[in-house]
Structure 1
Amino acid sequence: MNTVRLRHLAQINPPTPAFDRLADDDELTFIPMESVWPDNRLDISQRRRKSTVATGYTRFQDGDVLIPKITPTFEAGRAVLIRGLLSGVGTGTTELHVVRTGPGIDARFLLHSVNTHSFLKLGTAEMYGVAGQQRVPDSFLRNLAVQLPPLAEQRRIADFLDTETARIDKLIGLRKVQEEILAEKSYSSVSEALVPGTLAQPMGNWPWTWLPETTKDRPLVRLGYVCRLQNGLTVDGKRDVSGDVVTRPYLRVANVQAGNVALHTVTEITVPRHVADQSTLRPNDVLMTEGGDLDKLGRGAIWRGEIAGCLHQNHVFALRPEPDKLFGEYLALMTQTVHGRSYFESTGTKTTNLASTNSSKILSFPIPLPTVAVQRVLTRQAQEALDAVKGVSQHLSRQRIVLAERRQALITAAVTGQFDVSTASGRNVTDGVNA
């Protein structure tokens, strides 16, 4: 097996004469970075007129291998062999390297070569730029040493890997579908536990058309009657930082997730002590965000006092239930039901796929309110169902990770000649992971 520099086997970021031959009004394929995914996840459905993409974009043609250059897309192994472009030509994000193979290397073999662990590790080590904006230089690709078997062997390896990686990708896809089904299962389980009949017997009465008929032991009560809302502090450059001030950690919108609080990045802020006192979180507060993705709006998470003296910004609301009327865990789970999702989506202010709410709408949230003792029982039942689903989901997620690791290991072993693909079947690739 010979070792050859890639620049002797392929053109790196070459010109594309086929693009120049198109008329200004001709349409061609346009590929933004979010559309660059391997296998059937590659999206080549977008179109642009040549005149709108004549400058400032990367050009390529059918048969080219596209390699993302920027972190973290490069490390994710999202290189693709492009086919099926409109008129055989495309443009896209400038964050792509284009490799056009010559007669000495099979394009599919090259694609598998740039998905090996060693290639990704070497490329990551060659990145330059500031954190979060690091890129792989084209000099790395030009000087890349490729272990090159004869062309016929390259094609046998590519045929083998195409078949085996497709099989593994199918298993990974099935696991992902199963995880999505489980997520819906947990959603429906919590909904039925806290608001029975939501999925099967909605009354259709305006304005809460999704709600079933409530019973006397579960009256519908607006949140403001049983809960106080604390606003957060405004974070801007105009705040007074003189006199009696304190420096405290504070939570941003990014910290408040559906059902949990993410504490891996918590920022600090210096504010007057009296301002801090007005925005200090207490254990068992229910946190909700003012805005975000439409399908996450209104999700509640319990603050358990993980950080002493922690504050929250004004885009995060802290709800403080009256202990003898409302159990905080019950409220947090209620925001994850069909009722909670429907209420906040229907009352939120929407822009494209983003939405926002406000304190008035939160305090107007109508919730079925049994006694606190019953709330605790229902919360425990719903949480047990969530935990059971979470356990299965974590198992499926681990299987996906194992499959992805074995996929890359198989590619590396085949491309580097660690076994003879003509006698291999790939049967052992997914041992221990049932379909």
Structure 2
Amino acid sequence: MSTVRLRHLAQINPLTPAFDRLADEDELTFIPMEAVWPGNRLNISRRRTKSTVATGYTRFQNGDVLVPKITPTFEAGRAVLIDGLLGGVGAGTTELHIVRPGPEIDPKYLLYTVNTHNFLKLGAAEMYGVAGQQRVPDSFLRDLPVRLPPLVEQRRIAEYLDAETTRIDQLSASRRQQISALNERELAVIAEMLSGGATQDNGQPTGWPWLPHIPTDWRIGPLYAYYLTELGKMLNSDRASGDRQLPYLRNANVHWYEIDSSDMATMHFGPAEAQRYSVKAGDLLVCEGGAGVAEAAVWDGRIGDCYFQKSLHRVRQDGPLPVEWLMFWLRFAKSCGVFEADGNIATIPHLTGEQLREYRIPIPNDARARVAKTLRALTAMGDARTHLKQAQTLLAERRQALITAAVTGQFDVSTASGRNVTDGVPT
């Protein structure tokens, strides 16, 4: 069994003459990074004209293997064998390495080779660049040692893995559908809470197409009448030099219903700023801008002396409505596109302090009971979602272990055919 460097078996980031032969107005397949997924999750439906992707994009053709180069997409094993491109040619993100197999290596066998645990582990070790923007160099691919059985054996391995990974992928797709159904159910539960189950027949109109009716004995009032809101401290030149370096929360820490305090930054907060910019248990923190605009979670006080930065709103209860009522209102409103319509989505969406305070929300008579019921339902759904995601992780590990074992020759695929995907990796 020979081992050959990949540069002798395939072209790495080659030219694509088929692209050059297109006219400027000709359409081709366009693939951004978010569309690069293995199997049937690969999205090749997008189109661009040649003139719009003539510079600043990677070019490829049918039969190429696309390998993401940037973290964390590389480590996720999202390499794909591309086929079905419009006119046989495409363009996409520059964060892709293009590997064009030669006659001595089967394209699918090559694809599985760049999805093995060994390949991903070695590639991660070769990454260069600043944290969060590290990339795998093309020299790593060129020098990659590839176990090269005869072509007939390569195809046998690829066919076996096609069958086995398809079965795993089908299970994974079922888990994704279940998670999607839970997400839809979550929004339905919140909608029921916010609307009180009111309809056109028994409720009053709100004027909001996304929440059209509420009970007749409820009110609608401005957010500022029930909550106190404050934007956090703006980053400034003294943040690293002051003598009172204290931890603060920013929008990267806040997600729906949860706050991640594992990566906390610090800056100077003077004694006079303590009341204005500190957070305490029971405060609702709301993201002011970016992709996570309006995402919100309640602070539990896990850090005694903690503050917040201007990318967040702090909301405190100032009336009968618990902050969780507003959190769920924000969750449902965002799912309905409310903040996309109100924000400046031409650049980065923002939820300004004035916008937040002026929003009108439904005011029930029994908000605490409704919030408690919703929290119980969402906790149960969250537990189920966690179990499903754990199952997804196990399936992904199983898939990679199977690929690694088959490609590295740890078992003979001709005697392993027909094994159930829930079995252990053949030995």
TM range (shorter): 0.7 to 0.9
CA distance in 1, matches of 2:181, 2:131: 37
TM-score norm. by structure 2 comes to 0.88
Distance 1:166 1:239, change over 3 A: closer
Note the C-alpha offset of 1:360: 3.6
Note the C-alpha offset of 1:51: 4.2
Aligned-partner SS, 1:175: helix
* Counterpart position of 1:313: 309
Equivalent residue runs for 1:13-412 within 5 Å: 13-197=13-197, 205-209=205-209, 210-216=211-217, 218-237=218-237, 246-293=244-291, 297-322=293-318, 325-336=320-331, 338=332, 344-345=338-339, 348-352=342-346, 355-370=349-364, 374-412=366-404
Distance 1:155 1:287, change over 3 A: same
Aligned-partner SS, 2:215: coil
Moved more, 413-422 or 204-213: 204-213
Deviation per CA, 1:172-206: give whole Å up to 9, x if none. 11111110111121222233245321588795735
How many residues get paired?
Answer: 423
Counterpart of 1:384, as a letter, is R
CA distance in 2, matches of 1:9, 1:363: 62
Contact in 2 for aligned 1:4/1:148 (Cα 8 Å)? yes
CA distance in 1, matches of 2:41, 2:30: 15
**2:422 matches 1:424:** no
Contact in 2 for aligned 1:246/1:276 (Cα 8 Å)? no
Distance 1:115 1:145, change over 3 A: same
CA distance in 2, matches of 1:401, 1:234: 39
Contact in 1 for aligned 2:321/2:368 (Cα 8 Å)? no
Deviation per CA, 1:281-330: give whole Å up to 9, x if none. 2221122233344xx6444321222222322223322222136x233344
Moved more, 344-353 or 95-104: 344-353
Counterpart of 1:382, as a letter, is T
Note the C-alpha offset of 1:254: 2.0
**2:7 matches 1:12:** no
Moved more, 375-384 or 407-416: 375-384
Distance 1:222 1:411, change over 3 A: same
Counterpart of 2:421, as a letter, is V
Unaligned runs of 5+ in 1: none
**CA RMSD in angstroms, aligned pairs only:** 3.0
Moved more, 194-203 or 357-366: 194-203
Deviation per CA, 1:343-400: give whole Å up to 9, x if none. 95487324159533333443344444456xx433332221111111111111111111
Aligned-partner SS, 1:355: coil
Aligned-partner SS, 2:381: helix
Identical positions, percent: 50
CA distance in 1, matches of 2:252, 2:216: 38
Note the C-alpha offset of 1:275: 3.0
Contact in 2 for aligned 1:202/1:211 (Cα 8 Å)? no
Deviation per CA, 1:390-427: give whole Å up to 9, x if none. 11111111111111111111111222222332333343
Aligned-partner SS, 1:265: coil
Aligned-partner SS, 1:59: strand
CA distance in 2, matches of 1:30, 1:346: 25
Contact in 2 for aligned 1:208/1:343 (Cα 8 Å)? no
CA distance in 2, matches of 1:240, 1:135: 30
Aligned-partner SS, 2:190: helix
Aligned-partner SS, 1:408: helix
Aligned-partner SS, 1:430: coil
Aligned-partner SS, 1:230: strand
Aligned-partner SS, 2:28: strand
Distance 1:22 1:225, change over 3 A: closer
Note the C-alpha offset of 1:109: 0.7
Contact in 1 for aligned 2:61/2:85 (Cα 8 Å)? yes
Distance 1:314 1:74, change over 3 A: closer
TM-score norm. by structure 1 comes to 0.86
CA distance in 2, matches of 1:326, 1:52: 51
Distance 1:292 1:91, change over 3 A: closer
CA distance in 1, matches of 2:257, 2:89: 46
Contact in 1 for aligned 2:199/2:214 (Cα 8 Å)? no
Deviation per CA, 1:247-271: give whole Å up to 9, x if none. 3222222222221222122221224
